[in-house]
Structure 1
Amino acid sequence: MNRVPRFLLRHRVSVEPYLGDSAYGKQYGPPVADVPALVAETVGQVRTPDGREVTSTAQVIADPGLVCPPGSRLTLPSGRTTTALSVAHHTAPGLPVPACTEVICE
């Protein structure tokens, strides 16, 4: 699998994977620090998996193996903590384009 070149992943983010809800609120897995990524803090409209239209304030591109289900908490290079709205795993087997994980954040 052709991956996004490491030299393009100039930022570092921290990811706390969303595990689900419990009687005490949202539950997160242990934080994974220093994840190489390319972060664009731009504003845009996106549709969440449940069909709501919301405003996105950041887009994160990372290696294809990133474990970051929707609802996960991310700490961006600016220090801002945000929540993953949607996650897309981009692959193109047999084509000369890199595979990556794209996380759209609120």
Structure 2
Amino acid sequence: MGAIPRRFLRHQIIVEPYAGRSGTQDLYGPAVEVRCFLEQKTRLVRTPTGDTVVSSSTAYAYPGTTAPAKSRVTLNNGRKTKVIQCADQDSGGLGTPDHVEIQLE
């Protein structure tokens, strides 16, 4: 099937990619507007370090979208949150849409 059809990406979020930490604060790259489908549903997810945390939202975006863990995100309703993890979802030719899944705090 290829990439998730653009017509399904009905929402927009703003992602400020996490760029590391200076001595006293987190550093972020320039803000990027990302088209996505935003599902606001609470669920338990694992962080890249293996901890279990609560995710309040999941954004499904076009393949190639970059949103490193700890990136700042502004949702379409103005709420600010952070990325727990971001994962590429490749169908492997099974006919389901390829996409990026972004788990948000």
The 5-angstrom pairing of residues 26-37 of structure 1 reads 26-33=26-33, 35-37=34-36
Measured after TM superposition, the shift of residue 42 of structure 1 is 1.1
Measured after TM superposition, the shift of residue 17 of structure 1 is 0.5
The answer for unaligned runs of 5 or more in structure 2 is none
The aligned residue for residue 21 of structure 1 is 21
- Alignment partners' CA distance in 2, 1:85 and 1:76: 14
- Alignment partners' CA distance in 2, 1:101 and 1:40: 13
Amino acid at match of 1:30: P
- Alignment partners' CA distance in 2, 1:31 and 1:51: 28
Measured after TM superposition, the shift of residue 41 of structure 1 is 1.1
Same amino acid, percent of matched pairs: 39
What's the C-alpha RMSD, in Å, of the aligned pairs? Answer: 1.2
The aligned residue for residue 66 of structure 2 is 67
The answer for unaligned runs of 5 or more in structure 1 is none
Per mean C-alpha deviation after superposition, the further-off stretch among 55-64 and 19-28 is 19-28
The aligned residue for residue 80 of structure 1 is 79
Measured after TM superposition, the shift of residue 37 of structure 1 is 0.3
Amino acid at match of 1:31: A
TM-score, L = length of structure 1: 0.93
- Alignment partners' CA distance in 1, 2:92 and 2:46: 27
Count residues in correspondence.
Answer: 105
| SS in structure 1 of the partner of residue 12 of structure 2 | strand
| SS in structure 2 of the partner of residue 7 of structure 1 | helix
